[in-house]
Chains A and B, each alone.
Chain A
Amino acid sequence: MATAYKTTAYERFLDYASRGDPYPLFWELRKTPVAQQPDGSYVVSTYREIVSLLHDPRVSSDLRNLPEIANIRIPAEEGVPQLPPEFIRRDPPDHDRLRAAVMKHFGPPGTPGRVAGMEPRLLEIITELLDGLADRQRIDVVDDFAYPLPVAVICELLGVPREDEPLFHRWSQISVETNDPTTGTIVERNRRRFETLAKLGQYLDGLADAHLQNPGDDLLSALVTDGEMARPDVLSTSALLLIAGHETTVNLITNAMLTLLRHPEVLDRLRGDPGYAVKVVEELLRYEPPIHMPGPRRTALEDIDIAGTTIPKGSVIILVLASGSRDPARFADPDRFDPDRADNQHLGFGGGIHFCFGAPLARLETRLALTQLVQRLINPRLVVDPPTYRHPPNLRGPLHLPLDIDGVRAA
């Protein structure tokens, strides 16, 4: 990395040294709402501009627009198939078709009650996890709770055996790392991603065959039996859901606990009023979002005039959602954690056609998780503050969050 005075605010934000508290850098980023970077990409950091581009049909999520990525071919070893891009890396009309084909089994209009209907089962999983901590004086929010919870949930929802977790956890991690702009060029990273997804796809292909023979009440069974989606698309979609279910909610829950412990008055109020969790979760999504920038890079399909700058056709566009959610032009006193905030139109789940598919599930998991954590953990205390963070700047969250507790209340 070059010396500090030569680096851009965005480069400093990417630097691991900023991971603990990137927020002061956002003030600097927002001084230039649309800032061209040395590598030619454009970083967008203000609320208005981000929202505008999230809804702009001239902004593509399909990296095949970049010829160097479109041309990546991974060697066909042992028949491992290269998966087609998942729907978050597609544009309409393909995006709409694929997303609707999964939504049919996940939410409205086809199955509006599915996620809400998962509440009792989620509570059961949460209760089990917390019961398991009964004898402990020290816990790790990540390993003991925030990671196993969403994994259990996505496995059940998708129809993936939980005991295979060590297997797909590795692929999931590699895949997520390839979204981390600090781990190589966009081409290198995408090559690695394609390779990893191919292996994950091969694993899922076996599962899909099994589910076709013996369908269950899970999404993978639904996708293979209704035949609306071609098999390769079923595999990339499942891979996407598995990875997203894996790597995002863990950060939301962990960031949430950290934030609550830093704001004991909010924690106390939440303990007494579980209904408050609804607003707490929304403010967490604004204040400490698990995703600072969407993984898939976006590209300009045409020249785009915005905020006094022209983003030339073909440029990579990086939307720093977390900075938009702290934009003082949109949110009063943006660096204050205030669950009572009115009109909290945060960008925690993005916006536009790529609005987080799993948002309703993440909300439900986090609401129940926080409510239970604050009610059952007795006198939780942070052991370190700030904690050590995971490497990626885009999927931001602590690697571990050790807490000292005086026990766990009975459920």
Chain B
Amino acid sequence: MRVVVDLTKCQGYGQCVFAAPDVFRMPHDEALMYTGDADRDKVLRAAAACPVQALLVDQEGILGRPEDAVRGDGRVPVDRIVIVGASLAGMRAAATLRREGYPGSLTLIGKEPGEPYDRPPLSKQVLTSRAAAVDTRLPKREIGAEWMRGVAAVGLDLDGRRVHLADGRAVEYDRLLIAAGVRARPWPNPQEAALDGVVVLRTREDAEDLRRRLAAGPRVLVIGGGFTGSESASVCRELGLQVTLAERGRAPLVGALGEVIGGIAADMQRAHGVDLRCGVTVSALEGDRDGRLRRARLSDGSVLDVELAVAALGSVCNVEWLEGSGLAAGPWGVGCDAGCRAFEANGMVREDVFVAGDVARFPHPVYGYQFLTLEHWGNAAGQARVAAHNMISEPEDRRPHLALPVFWSAQFDVNIKSVGVPAFADEVAIVQGSVADRRFVAAYAITAGSSPRSPSTRRSGWTSTVT
């Protein structure tokens, strides 16, 4: 039995812990953690008991029941659907297609070998050894798909409706979904990046490798104070490791949450024993003659003796395979409309190519039709459902992907949740709770230019730092 917790929905009611205390944990009052594999009956009880229905189990969660299928009359005749990307978005799309009654052939192409897995636990439960990396597999029922794993898509022939694969094969489609996602941005200096002890965290293999390295008790440098970097530093402290976090900006999480909340995050990190260095960059990573990382030099002239460096520098879109295809694809993602239809390079919309997940760049009406790419779990899941529905629907039955961006992050004993795009705001106020207690709600507003959005006044269950 596999289970995935949609922590964007979780409000910390704890009912799952009551039902299955050996599967779910609430380590610090709020933040929910779960182990990978689990007793079937207990997990089903937990899933039924969740007041916000945030647990997905392979019994029915990810697919839903066939009778729930929305069987509109407006179905377009489509026989061959190909999905490039077999992670969360690709899986959700495949499941939605079947749930909505799509009977034709379905091919999923994924460059990673092995079964699709859930990423959020990688930087949390897996690193602390609370769950094995292998237990992060995404729940699935037989969805009647052909799986092509461990093989990358290397080209797209729009006119011929064909995806070219690294092994020389080509797969034809009537509808294509691009859910190729992103990968970790590597440390920019290739020699330094190749040192034993310089790692990134994105895939299940990365997490397993990092977990093993952390278990050896190294001194750690985390490069970058975004969510992955901050969660990694949190795990290091939980494991009792000495960790330095180097952040180029004035505080961690500044890019996503702004300086006020970033400042609070900085205090939180320091209170937990992180050696936080802001306003610095890492100018060099140095190894010994065996190629093992030994030292890091920072832009302020300081030198750190470290055995492990986690480069948490953000991500790179997996778009190289689309070069020359005629699609609007670039380092910023693959452009598409709110209905997930891909743009051609000239800005015209395609009717046969759709985009979803981390790689999709789409306009959001709430934000003045600005184009967003959202590397959020909830966005991947939601957008994939919309894309799948639209792929097999007549124009009048299509739906827009309008959900507000939502994400969470568990670090330093708090659960950070965000609704909307805080980065767009020019004002922030703590509207509820107490910063000192690390339990508060901050509201962001745009006061200049466009109209301000009303701040959220919801009081969530026991979720702590709600930002």
Select the stretch in A40-48, A174-182, A244-252, A341-349 that faces chain B: A341-349
Is the beta-carbon distance between A342 and B64 smaller than 8 angstroms? Answer: yes
Residue A57 CB within 8 A of the other chain: yes
Q: How far is the CA of A360 from the CA of B25 in the complex (A)?
A: 15
Say yes or no: is B14 at the interface (Cβ < 8 Å to chain A).
yes
A352 neighbours in B (Cβ, 8 Å): 459, 461
- Of A115, A343, A345, A351, the contact of B18 (CB 8 Å cutoff): A115
The one of B25, B42, B60, B462 that contacts A112, using a Cβ cutoff of 8 Å: B25
Among B44-52, B130-138, B147-155, B158-166, the stretch that binds chain A is B44-52
Complex contact A109–B28 (CB within 8 A)? yes
> Which residue of chain A lies nearest to B60 when distances are taken between CB atoms in the complex?
A342
Contact of A116 among B21, B26, B432 (CB under 8 A): B21
Q: In the bound complex, how far is the Cα of B49 from the Cα of A355, in angstroms?
A: 12
A278 contacts B51, C-beta separation under 8 Å: no
Chain B residues in 8 Å Cβ range of A359:
15, 18, 49
**Are B13 and A278 in touch, CB under 8 angstroms?**
no
The answer to whether B52 touches A345 (Cβ under 8 A) is: yes
| B8, chain A: closest CB distance, angstroms | 15
Which residues 331-369 of B sit at the A interface, judged by CB distance below 8 A?
A: none
What is the bound-complex CA distance between A279 and B20, given in angstroms? 16
B73 part of interface (Cβ distance < 8 Å): no
Shortest C-beta distance, A251 to chain B (Å), equals 19
Q: Given that A107-B14, A116-B21, A275-B44 are known contacts, is A343 also in contact with B457, CB under 8 Å in the complex?
A: no
Give the B interface residue count (CB, 8 A).
34
Q: In the complex, what residue of chain B is closest to A347 when comparing beta carbons?
A: B51
A100 / chain B contacts, CB cutoff of 8 Å? 29
Closest CB in chain B relative to A330 CB, distance in Å = 12
Contacts of A112 in B (CB 8 A): 17-18, 21, 25-26
Instruction: Give residues 2-50 of B contacting A (CB, 8 Å).
Output: 13-15, 17-22, 25-29, 41-42, 44-45, 48-49
- The answer to whether A109 and B48 touch across the interface, beta carbons within 8 angstroms, is no
- Bound-state CA distance A349–B41 (Å) is 22
Complex contact B18–A360 (CB within 8 A): yes
* B142 contacts chain A at the CB level, 8 A cutoff: no
| Given A340-B65, A352-B459, A108 and B18 contact (CB-CB distance below 8 Å) | yes
By beta carbon, the residue of chain B nearest A57 is B459
Partner of A278, one of B29, B48, B52: B48
For B41, B42, B49, which residue has the most chain A Cβ atoms within 10 angstroms? B49
**A interface, how many residues as a size bin?**
20 to 34
With A351-B51, A352-B461, A359-B15 already in contact, the answer to whether A57 and B432 are too (CB < 8 A) is yes
Residues of A307-329 at the interface with B, using a CB-CB cut-off of 8 Å, are: none
**Docked-complex contact B21 and A113, CB < 8 angstroms:** yes
Asked whether any CB of chain A lies closer than 8 Å to the CB of B289, the reply is no
Q: Contact: A355 with B19, CB < 8 Å?
A: no
A residues within 8 A CB of B28? 109
Report yes or no: A360 in contact with B19, Cβ–Cβ below 8 A.
Answer: yes
Residue of B nearest to A332 (CB): B68
Q: List, in ascending order, chain B residues with CB within 8 A of A282's CB.
A: 48-49
Decide if A108 touches B21 in the complex (CB within 8 Å): yes
Question: Using Cβ atoms and an 8 Å threshold, which residues of chain A touch B14?
Answer: 107-108
Which residues of chain A are near B22, meaning CB under 8 Å? 113
Q: Say whether A390 faces chain B, with CB atoms less than 8 Å apart.
A: no
8 Å CB contact of B457 from A57, A108, A113, A275: A57
Q: CA of A340 to CA of B48 in the docked complex: distance in angstroms?
A: 11
Known: A56-B457, A108-B17, A360-B18. Contact between A355 and B25, CB under 8 A? no
B53 within 8 A of A: yes
Q: Which of A55, A56, A279, A281: most chain B Cβ within 10 A?
A: A55
For the complex formed, measure the closest distance between the CB of B361 and the CB atoms of chain A, giving whole angstroms: 30
Q: A41-77, CB under 8 A of B: which get 1 and which 0?
A: 0000000000010011110000000000000000000
Using CB atoms, name the residue of chain A closest to B441. A57
Q: Which residues of A contact B26 (CB under 8 A)?
A: 108-109, 112
- Chain A, 359-373, contact with B by CB distance < 8 Å: what is the 0/1 string? 110010001000000
Cα–Cα, bound, A245→B68 (Å)? 37
Taking CB atoms, residues of chain B closer than 8 Å to A14 are none
A116 touches B19 (CB 8 A): yes
Complex CA–CA separation, A57 to B18 (angstroms): 26
Q: CA A100 – CA B461 in complex, angstroms?
A: 12
Which residues of chain B are within 8 angstroms of A343 by Cβ–Cβ distance? 53
**B460 interface residue per 8 A CB criterion:** yes
Collect the chain A residues with CB atoms within 8 Å of residue B41's CB.
Answer: 275
Distance, CA A100 to CA B53, complexed state (A): 23
In the assembled complex, 14 residue pairs joining A and B whose CB atoms fall closer than 8 Å, in A order, are A57-B432, A108-B25, A109-B29, A116-B21, A275-B41, A278-B45, A282-B49, A340-B65, A344-B53, A351-B51, A353-B461, A359-B15, A363-B45, A367-B45
- Top-8 shortest CB links A-B: A360-B18, A108-B17, A112-B21, A113-B21, A108-B26, A57-B459, A55-B458, A109-B26
- Interface residue ranges, B against A (CB under 8 Å): 13-15, 17-22, 25-29, 41-42, 44-45, 48-49, 51-53, 60, 64-65, 68, 432, 457-462
Q: Residues on A close to B: CB < 8 A?
A: 52, 55-58, 92, 96, 100, 107-109, 112-113, 115-116, 275, 278-279, 281-282, 340, 342-345, 349, 351-353, 355, 359-360, 363, 367
Q: A112-B18, A113-B21, A116-B20 given; name 11 further pairs at CB < 8 Å.
A: A55-B458, A108-B26, A109-B29, A112-B17, A116-B19, A278-B48, A281-B48, A351-B51, A353-B461, A355-B13, A360-B18
